[in-house]
Amino acid sequence: MAKLKKTLENLSNFLSQMILGLILFSLSFSGLGIALLLRHLRYNGTIIASFGVLTAGIAMFLSYLVFKGYIKTDEEIVTSEQIKKKK
């Protein structure tokens, strides 16, 4: 029974990581997607480039916020271990 509980916990962690990966993947290609959509709608190159770069910039900022959480977690772990070692 404990093994089943541990497996379900690992599966829930795995699914949350997969969803986060899917979001980051879609953010990384969002600028290209906007550019292709605008090209299909027959907008000129200046508008396509502007919206593509703007969308890619927003996606990079959102990705930065996600990765900042991972980096902060690792730094907190190192700090906690150093404090325990000093005691």
Tens of pLDDT along 15-67? 877 888 888 888 778 888 888 888 999 999 999 989 888 888 888 888 888 77
pLDDT of amino acid 40: 92
Question: Is residue 84 predicted with pLDDT exceeding 80?
Answer: no
| Per-residue confidence (pLDDT) for residue 46, from 0 to 100 | 92
Tokens (6 digits) for 86: 């000093």
Task: Indicate the domain borders of the chain.
Answer: 2-86
CA distance 33 to 26: 9
- 32 and 52 Cβ atoms separated by less than 8 Å: yes
| pTM for the full predicted model | 0.59
Of 39 and 77, more confident? 39
First to last CA, the chain: 39
